[in-house]
Each structure stands twice: as C-alpha cells, then as structure tokens.
Amino acid sequence: MQFTTIALSALSVSSALATTVHVVKVGSANGTLAYSPNSLVAAAGDMVQFQFAPANHTVTQSTFDQPCQPISLHSNVTGVFSGFMPVTASATETPTYTIMINNTTPMWLYCSQASHCQKGMTMVINENIKANASRSLEAFQALAKTATVNLAAGSSSNGTSGEISASSTGSSSSPSSTSSSSSSSSSSSSSSNSTANGNAATAIKPSEALTLGGLLALGVALFL
C-alpha cells in the first residue's frame, strides 16, 4: 500500500516537471542549407535543441528587419549565438545547442556561415503575423536574400552546448522526427506531441528521473 502511494506521487512529481524539447536539425548531411523545421511554436519554459549536421553552421539571433546580423547590433538584446559548430562528414557525435524559451516574442534566427543566411538558412520561433502581418517567415527570408552582409556574434550566448551520438539524430528521417536527448544521459523519451503547425516535440524528464528512481526504491523498501 505504501508502495502504491509513494510510487504514484513520484510519478505525478515527475510528469509535472516534464519539459518539452523541440528538436531542430541545422543543415543536412546532403548539404541542404536550411533549418528543419524552420518555423516552430514554443511556449515559455520549453527548450529548443539545435542538432548540427556536418559542415560548419551556427544559430544566430537577429531582428526581423536586419536579417544576417546579430540582434545585439540593432538592439540592447544580447541574443542567442551558438558559435560555429564544425562537424566532419564522418563524425560520430552531433554537437547540439539548447536554448530555453522565456517568452513568445518572435525569435528570428540565421546561420552566420558564408552566405548561408542569404541562401535560406533562416528560421523563426513563434512567428506572430497576427501582431504584424508583415513579419512572416516568408518576408524574413525574402529580406535575408537581399542582405549585403552575413555576420557572426562575438561569443556564444544564451544557450548550452552539448553532444549526442550521431546515430541517435536520425539524420535521414523526416523533418518532424523527434530525437530526444539532452546533456543528461538519464533523460529518456516518454511521449511526443505535435504543435499547431505540425512540429514534433518530445517530452523528457531531466535529472528528476534520478529522484523518481530514488523514490521508487524507497517505496520498494517500505513495501518489503
């Protein structure tokens, strides 16, 4: 009886702490210059994990009006910058950069490498054309195409670097495939969901998984 009570309360604690992680593939082994997906809806508290395919890409935040330039050049916001992520074709590890979404203000992102920004390596988190119909991903990409420079930020900011096994990223699967992972090896995929615009997200339990294990062990001990 005690086992049941403790196990159930452990499970409810665990699900209350589950975090939604949206996975974005940065580039592709076939050389496609794009983020996949290039538009996603994320709530405050969600995480977005960028997984870098071979080449040497970045994730850099800009304003809407100045694509291909760090947001810090045009506002007092430092913004997200992953730094350059060189990956060889034969790499067995996929570098990741994971950011936490703190609000639903649209976040405009691009790759700072060469002319990747101009060539379509751009995306948005929380596009809001209801607030301003001009600020669509399509319009952002059209502006980026005509940008005369593509600049990187100074040093990485507002995210956390990591690495996952390349085989776990499913690089040849569909853009909406989910691949759960984080810096903590105890994380595991437990469920998935599709957001309004079709992006897949994965719920993971962070290090609380260890707490759950501890509580279950306690439950077993009391039961016996």
Ligand X SMILES: *[C@@H]1O[C@H](CO)[C@@H](O)[C@H](O)[C@H]1NC(C)=O
Residues of this chain that interact with Cu ion (CB under 5 A) are 57, 111, 113, 116, 121
Nearer to ligand X, 28 or 211 (CB): 28
User: Token pair for residue 104?
Assistant: 């639903």
Among 8, 15, 65, 149, binds ligand X (CB under 6 A): 65
* Sign of the four-CA dihedral 82, 60, 181, 13: positive
Nearer to Cu ion, 113 or 187 (CB): 113
> Quick one: which of 210, 206, 168, 194 has its CA closest to 19?
206
CA separation for the pair 138, 17 (Å, rounded) = 35
Neighbours of 99 (CB within 10 A): 23
∠ CA(160), CA(117), CA(101), 5° rounding? Answer: 35
- Which residue's CB atom is positioned nearest to Cu ion? 111
String of contacts with ligand X for each residue 106-145, x by CB under 6 A: -------x------------------x-xx----------
**Cis upstream peptide for 37 (omega within 30°):** yes
The yes or no reply on residue 10 touching ligand X (CB under 6 A) is no
Helix axes 2-16, 208-223, angle to 10 degrees: 170
CB of 11 to ligand X, least distance (A): 16
Site for ligand X in 144-183 (CB under 6 A): 157-158, 171, 175
Beta-bridge partner residues of 174: none
The yes or no reply on residue 102 touching ligand X (CB under 6 A) is yes
Contact window for ligand X (CB under 6 A) among 3-11, 95-103, 117-125, 161-169: 95-103
Residues 6+ away with beta carbon under 8 Å from 221: none
Among 5, 193, 197, 207, binds ligand X (CB under 6 A): 193
> Quick one: which of 142, 84, 133 has its CA closest to 106?
133
Among 86, 198, 213, 214, binds ligand X (CB under 6 A): 86
56 binds, among Cu ion, ligand X, none (CB under 5 to 8 A by kind): ligand X
Site for ligand X, rule CB under 6 A: 28, 30, 32, 56, 64-65, 75-76, 78, 80, 84, 86, 99-100, 102, 113, 132, 134-135, 157-158, 171, 175, 193, 195-196
